[in-house]
Structure 1
Amino acid sequence: MTTQLLPFTDKSVKAAAYLGRGLATEYRIEGNPGLVLVVRKPGLSQTSSRGWRFHYSTQRDGRQIKRRVGLGDYPRVTLSEARRKSADLLERVKTDGDVVEHERAKRQITDRAALTFGDLLDDYLEARKDLARIKEVERELRKDAIPALGAKHPALITAGDIDEVGRAILNRGSKAMASRFVMHLKALYNFVILDQPSLAERYGITSNPAAMLGRRRRGAGGSYTKPKARERILDDPEIAKWWRALDDSEKRLGTKLALKLVLVTAQRPGEVRRVRKQDLHLTAAEPYWIIPAEHSKNRRQHYVPLSHLAVQLFTEAAAASSDSGSLFVFPSPDDTEHPIADVVLPSAQRDLFVNTLKSTTPATVHDLRRSAATGMRRLGINRDTVGMVLNHTAKGVTAEHYDWHDGAKEKRAALDAWARHLGRVFE
């Protein structure tokens, strides 16, 4: 880009021409340090537009950095106005240094101040979208965190703010939900600080306000400590009573079959409700179900041998959903491109005990899986095999890195034995 010296007159500014090299010709204005007229390359109209800039240089880490600040186009910004603006900037450079960097920092502060926890949650959910249970995390945080904290700046949220929401959840009688709420917030802030420092910088987050929430000295319980593991197990008479009540209920057929399959296959409710028709191999010599890694809690593909009872239930479910054209065995009645929602099975199970099995101690959907595991142990099936059926992650170097035996034969024997036992229970 060519730079020329131009007298400080309107006549010379109007007469300044593009000299035919580069995108523009620059003219320094005589007697006005840093003030530059830019005559741009002519466009289709064969005329050159003109604009004003202020040029200055600054030092950073021993390096010279050149800056350019636009002052507007001529003649909208007159020569006198350009001189005044450049003189003001020259004084600021002398007193403040790099004014461009200062303005950028001010804009960053202003933009950052407008950000909210709701914005951060959206960014977090997008970054963690591949987590198996991220939809559950989103549902719980949007239910409790957004109404109370959504409009707050995430860097200004305190442990007290989080505790206030946690106490409200505790007061409605849900210690497990309160514990998960605090756990989700700890995980969110830790992820931003440790795994996404660019997000931490954008939001100005330097610490985790939930980090110490609920901790206690050794031997003392905390408000948000993890609830004691559930121990509800249905015995054989309770299983028979539950099965009959489910059959007699007015719930949708798909819901009934999905609940039964949690008990029969001992798989997680979320894995059952999301089963795709392509993952089932019901007519194979030895029928089986493949749970893909993206649907599995431990992110490993899981081979589930199917007993005669499981095949019967899956066949009935697939037939019932055949007209929907859905990929899923248990499609949502509102949107067949998705499986039934994660609240459907827990809600149906809860309703069954509230309205039908009133004299029976309530059991959750997950308790059905626990009952299946315990039932297999009572039949003499060893703990390792039951663990493989449940797709629990084995501990230890050998199990985690070297032993990839999926126990297909052992799992089939265990699930066949459990199905035979259930057949006797229902007689």
Structure 2
Amino acid sequence: MASGVDVGKLNRANLRRWLKDGVTRDFRDTRYPSVRLRATTDRQRASVFLVVNERNRTKWDKQGTWPDMCIDTFVEQLPVMLAQRSAGGDMVTGAIEMVSGVLLWYVQHVMGNTTLSDSWRRNVQSAVTRHLLPRLGHLALSSLSFIEIDRLLVKPLLDEGYKPSYITELVNKLKSAFSAASDMRVIEQNPLAGYRSRMSLKVAANDTRLFESELSELFSRLSAAPMRIAMLFVLMMMFGSRINETRQARWEHFAGGMWVIPASHTKTKQEHRIPLTHAAIALIEHYRRWQLKNVGKRAYLFPGTNGPVSIRTAQKWSEDIRFKHFTSHDLRKLFRTIIADMGVDTVIGERLVNHSLPLLLRTYMLSDLNKGMRRAIERYHEYLIEHGFNQVAPEIIPRSSSDRGNAETKMASGWL
């Protein structure tokens, strides 16, 4: 039997070469010192071991056999596996002593909370698995400090080219984990109380606000965008809906003069019913005909590979309509600002954007609320048309019933 260790990158090509060469018995990757592969006698397979030191003894735990197991998936889950072993040891003593323990507890805490959106829970799990555990999980709680976060998390991420906004998001999730652990008495005190990412990130904040004076430029960008991209943000602009709600819209949700957003799609977990104006109905029906002709019959207004278009793709689309730095959420803010400037009642305005206002809403009869929402939407759509919205969607001011274009038709040309 061969002896020795081959060192290289842990991927399928290198593993096949190592087994075929038949020179060394073991294989390891310096990036993953706790992982060791050992070839079988016939060199057709390799046992995958997790090599850890527990109670001052080196322990080899077999995890599976390659190529039966996916080595890429194993490596991706490695930080979580190591942290779970560490956290498990901590739990025996009745207290969490490592950062990994707090992070793993927080993931379990979040994933079990069904009042949070699925996308947000997945974002937390991804942030912890990809960045926070590998970079900070090995620290003892007594060693965690502002300086260590700067040294092990913020500066390395900056050096690797990550945007300050993304790093700030990761820091905020880290802070949320420790804040929740402290509130739930999982840890005695919060070592990150008072920490702010701006201590390390000296980056000027971008003013992402959209102003009414910029409507013309926004309409111009929307009219030049491909049909489905523009339509997503046109709906958001017309109704103040969230991007996650809008991307999941199904044709069956538009009926009886209403757009009904299911509770499972909303941030408040409450069904949201938005009245449709004549202009909106004309726009939606025209888009339906365009989709049937150029894409085919679909259940979703914005279909993806399996179901609706992904949130990441939808967010990427928002970059296609930018004429300055703003986010998709800024369209929603612009909607709220305009209807407020028009004098729409606060309760009506908050209900249109589906904010939870149970105490205020008790003062309104449901029928009065629905009438107020319809009047506000009609006035708002008239306002958009007066300010040039027909250059984006001429169909709302009938000109022609012809359908022209293809799957990449630009918004305005497709409506003519």
> If the length of structure 2 is used for normalisation, what is the TM-score?
0.56
CA distance in 1, matches of 2:303, 2:126: 20
1 CA distance for matches of 2:171 and 2:273? 34
Partner of 1:421: 383
RMSD of equivalent CA atoms? 4.3
Kept after mapping to 2: 8 A contact 1:303/1:408: no
Partner residue, 1:407:
369
* C-alpha spacing 1:235/1:187, structure 2 compared with 1 (3 Å): same
Partner of 2:177: 188
Match of 1:290 in 2: 260
Contact 1:317 / 1:330 at 8 angstroms: preserved in 2?
no
- Separation of aligned partners in 2, 1:194 and 1:275: 37
Corresponding letter in the other structure for 1:275:
A
The Cα shift of 1:262 comes to 0.8
| 2: CA distance, partners of 1:270 / 1:301 | 14
Give the drift of 1:272. 1.1
Q: Is the 8 A contact 1:305 1:411 kept in 2?
A: yes
Task: Give the Cα–Cα distance (whole angstroms) in 2 for the partners of residues 374 and 106 of structure 1.
Answer: 51
Change in Cα spacing, 1:233 to 1:110, as seen in structure 2 (3 Å) is closer
Give the 5 Å matches for 1:104-123.
108=92, 116=100, 119-120=104-105, 122-123=107-108
User: Considering only CA atoms, is the larger Rg found in Structure 1 or Structure 2?
Assistant: 1
Counterpart for residue 239 of structure 1: 215
Aligned-residue sequence identity (percent) comes to 18
Contact 1:373/1:386, CA 8 A, preserved across alignment = yes
Aligned residue runs from structure 1 range 54-203, under 5 A: 108=92, 116=100, 119-120=104-105, 122-132=107-117, 133-142=120-129, 144-149=131-136, 151-152=137-138, 155=141, 158-160=144-146, 161-164=148-151, 165-166=153-154, 176-195=165-184, 200=186
How big is the shift at 1:263? 0.6
Secondary structure at 1:330's aligned position in 2?
coil
Alignment of 1:216-255 (within 5 A): 232-235=209-212, 238-249=214-225, 251=226, 253-255=227-229
In 2 relative to 1, CA 189–175 (structure 1 residues): closer, same or farther, beyond 3 Å? same
Residue 213 of structure 1 deviates from its aligned partner by 1.6
1:207-239 CA-to-partner distances (Å, cap 9, x unmatched) read: 433233239xxxxx86689x9895612435x32
**Cα 1:386/1:130, change in 2 over 3 Å:** closer
Tell me the SS of whatever aligns to 2:274. Answer: strand
- 1:254-277: CA deviations, max 9, x gaps? 322111111111111222112244
Could you say which structure has the greater relative contact order, defined with CA pairs below 8 angstroms and 6 or more residues apart? 2
Aligned equivalent of 2:191: 209
Which residue does 1:362 correspond to in 2?
325
Question: Which amino acid is 2:116 matched to?
Answer: L
Give the distance between the partners of 1:297 and 1:254, measured in 2 at CA.
24
Deviation string, structure 1 residues 56-87 (Cα, Å, up to 9, x no partner): xxxxxxxxxxxxxxxxxxxxxxxxxxxxxxxx
CA distance in 1, matches of 2:90, 2:234: 60
Tell me the equivalent position of 1:335.
306
Q: Is 1:375 aligned with 2:338?
A: yes
**2-structure distance, mates of 1:401, 1:380:** 21
Residues matched between the structures, number: 293
TM-score normalised by the chain length of structure 1: 0.55
Counterpart CA distance in 1 for 2:296 and 2:128 is 32
Residues 421 and 114 of structure 1: is their aligned pair in 2 closer, same or farther, counting only changes over 3 Å? closer
1:89-144 Cα offsets, whole Å, 9 max, x none, are xxxxxxxxxxxxxxx99993599899946744542342235402334444555554
Separation (CA, whole Å) in 1 of partners of 2:372 and 2:356 = 17
Name structure 1 gaps, 5 residues minimum. Answer: 1-103, 216-220
User: Which runs of no fewer than 5 residues in structure 2 stay unpaired?
Assistant: 1-87, 391-416
